[in-house]
């Protein structure tokens, strides 16, 4: 799902809060609507279900129990292909946050919010909604030997208390593996909370992860639960753990060793009971580089390692995925049911699919929308070059000029993002893995 095509609804009775969120999100997303009166929600949904809803928990003046918002959350989660929901609240007490997560909220944001934190939460919600289509775990579809091994590992490790590290390229479905582990575990009825570690600012890491007390710092106007407290009794998914700075790694290690957190501004630690599932697209060799990742933390996280294969290593699963996604988008966009043209399936199965399942899903959506022939042809999917095509050599001297331009552009993006890999990758329109390769290539 592209950011520009996303539909976002802000459901909050405070017009100033709704307007502030709308102005922020419109910088990145085009269609951002606001709604102050929950009674008008049905009429709005009749015109189309949004992709993400930012949901306040209290609408009646004086109420702080969150019951109104939780009831709305239940309604939104019951919709077919319902939206991802991010809870907005000025009263982020732990029981209420956990209850919202148990009922299906993907994240919660306290007011007043940090702009970068809100943008990252919406981006993550869009990514998760795009990956989970029609209730079918399509990224884990398939009966190839590689996927059978993944599913067997999930079945074996889920009932245990072991921490799990999921490895794989962007788009292979690492979070879906984490969710499958949680769903088959003894913690299935408690919260599953996903955190993109690359999107957590280093300066606010402790507050985001461990919480803070009111008055702990200048903007700490209310007490706030951290991600560990919010996931109490459940599973905490630390996505893109390889992006975590070394200083933050040390703080995370301390929590995992002691199984307790100390909120910022608190004078005593609080016990936490969470299972950790982490994920990264880093090569394993880079994970064992002490300059990038603490070895002692790695051994805490990778009790069990599940490697999710890229799509090019399980081509036998591609036909079922094509059928699933084409059928899904034909139904979603009221498009005619069509078959693949002769020879198209072989070419699509031969494609390497950089971007993996995510790229295949987007290609199927494109084909369903733009295809106007009785059957699907390869060019409907936007794959304009042969699978093994290589770029033509640059003219003499041109390669060095282009290389310098690329290096300067990447360096400028890294400076603007203040070293945040996730943000720099978004600015450049690259995956994190691609950005890491280019950083290594240019020695940045």
Q: Give the model confidence (pLDDT) of 163-201 as tens digits.
A: 999 999 988 989 989 999 998 999 988 889 999 888 888
Asked if residue 250 belongs to a domain, the reply is yes
| Each residue's pLDDT tens digit, 395-413 | 544 444 566 777 778 877 7
Are residues 297 and 256 part of one domain?
yes
Residue 63's domain is classified under what CATH number?
3.40.50.2300
Q: What count of residues does the chain have?
A: 444
Structure token digits, residue 29: 């997303």
Residues of the domain holding 328: 312-381
* φ and ψ at residue 7, rounded to 5 degrees: -110, 125
Which pLDDT does position 92 carry in this prediction? 54
Of 282, 309, 320, nearest to 177 by C-alpha is 309
Q: What domain count does the chain have?
A: 4
Which pLDDT does position 77 carry in this prediction? 86
Give the three-class secondary structure for 7.
strand
Are residues 267 and 295 part of one domain?
yes
Are residues 153 and 71 part of one domain?
no
Are residues 90 and 235 part of one domain?
no
Are residues 262 and 163 part of one domain?
yes
The residue out of 307, 336, 365 marking a domain boundary is: 307
Which pLDDT does position 129 carry in this prediction? 67
Give the three-class secondary structure for 322.
helix
Which pLDDT does position 130 carry in this prediction? 59
Q: What is the pLDDT along the chain (444 residues), one digit of tens a residue?
A: 444 567 899 999 889 989 999 989 988 877 899 999 999 998 888 888 898 999 998 888 878 788 898 999 999 988 877 888 999 877 555 677 778 887 888 888 878 787 877 888 888 788 666 555 433 355 577 788 999 999 999 999 999 999 999 999 988 989 989 999 998 999 988 889 999 888 888 888 998 899 888 887 877 777 778 899 888 899 999 999 998 999 999 999 999 999 999 999 988 999 999 999 999 998 888 888 888 899 999 999 999 999 999 999 999 999 999 998 999 889 888 899 999 999 999 999 999 998 899 899 899 999 999 999 999 999 999 985 544 443 444 454 444 456 677 777 887 777 776 666 776 777 777 776 677 767 767 767
Of 194, 202, 285, nearest to 245 by C-alpha is 202
Are residues 118 and 57 part of one domain?
yes
The residue out of 381, 410, 434 marking a domain boundary is: 381
Check: CB of residue 150 under 8 Å from CB of residue 180: no
Asked if residue 140 belongs to a domain, the reply is no
Are residues 303 and 165 part of one domain?
yes
Asked if residue 161 belongs to a domain, the reply is yes
Are residues 320 and 288 part of one domain?
no
């Amino acid at each position: 799902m592209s950011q520009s095509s996303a539909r976002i609804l802000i459901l909050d009775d405070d017009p100033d809060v709704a307007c502030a969120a709308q102005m922020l999100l419109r910088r990145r997303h085009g269609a951002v609507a606001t709604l102050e009166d929950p009674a008008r929600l049905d009429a709005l949904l009749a015109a189309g279900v949004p992709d993400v809803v930012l949901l306040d928990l209290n609408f009646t003046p004086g109420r702080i129990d969150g019951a109104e918002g939780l009831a709305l959350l239940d309604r939104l989660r019951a919709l077919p292909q319902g939206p991802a929901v991010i809870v907005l609240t000025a009263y982020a007490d732990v029981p209420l946050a956990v209850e919202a997560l148990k009922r299906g909220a993907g994240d919660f944001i306290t007011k007043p919010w940090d702009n970068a934190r809100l943008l990252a939460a919406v981006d993550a919600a869009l990514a998760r909604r795009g990956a989970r289509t029609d209730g079918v775990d399509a990224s884990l579809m398939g009966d190839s030997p590689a996927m059978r091994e993944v599913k067997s590992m999930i079945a074996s490790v889920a009932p245990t208390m072991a921490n799990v590290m999921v490895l794989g390229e962007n788009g292979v479905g690492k979070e879906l593996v984490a969710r499958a582990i949680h769903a088959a575990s003894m913690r299935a009825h408690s919260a599953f909370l996903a955190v993109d570690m690359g999107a957590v600012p280093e300066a606010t890491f402790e507050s985001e992860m461990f919480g803070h007390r009111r008055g702990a710092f200048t903007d700490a106007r209310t007490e706030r639960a951290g991600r560990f407290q919010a996931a109490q009794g459940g599973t905490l998914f630390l996505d893109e753990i390889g992006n975590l700075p070394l200083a933050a790694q040390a703080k995370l290690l301390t929590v995992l060793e002691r199984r307790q957190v100390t909120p910022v501004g608190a004078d005593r630690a609080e016990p936490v009971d969470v299972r950790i599932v982490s994920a990264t697209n880093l090569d394993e060799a880079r994970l064992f580089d002490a300059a990038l990742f603490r070895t002692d933390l790695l051994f805490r996280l990778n009790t069990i390692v599940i490697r999710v294969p890229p799509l090019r290593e399980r081509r036998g699963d591609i036909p079922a995925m094509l059928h699933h996604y084409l059928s899904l988008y034909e139904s979603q966009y009221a498009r005619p049911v069509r078959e693949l043209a002769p020879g198209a399936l072989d070419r699509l199965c031969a494609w390497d699919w950089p971007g993996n399942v995510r790229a295949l899903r987007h290609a199927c959506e494109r084909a369903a929308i733009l295809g106007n022939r009785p059957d699907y042809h390869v060019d409907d999917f936007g794959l304009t070059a042969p699978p093994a095509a290589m770029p033509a050599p640059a003219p003499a001297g041109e390669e060095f000029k282009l290389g310098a331009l690329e290096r300067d552009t990447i360096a400028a993006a890294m400076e603007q993002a203040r070293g945040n890999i996730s943000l720099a990758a978004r600015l450049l329109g690259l995956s994190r893995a691609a950005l890491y390769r280019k950083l290594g290539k240019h020695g940045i």
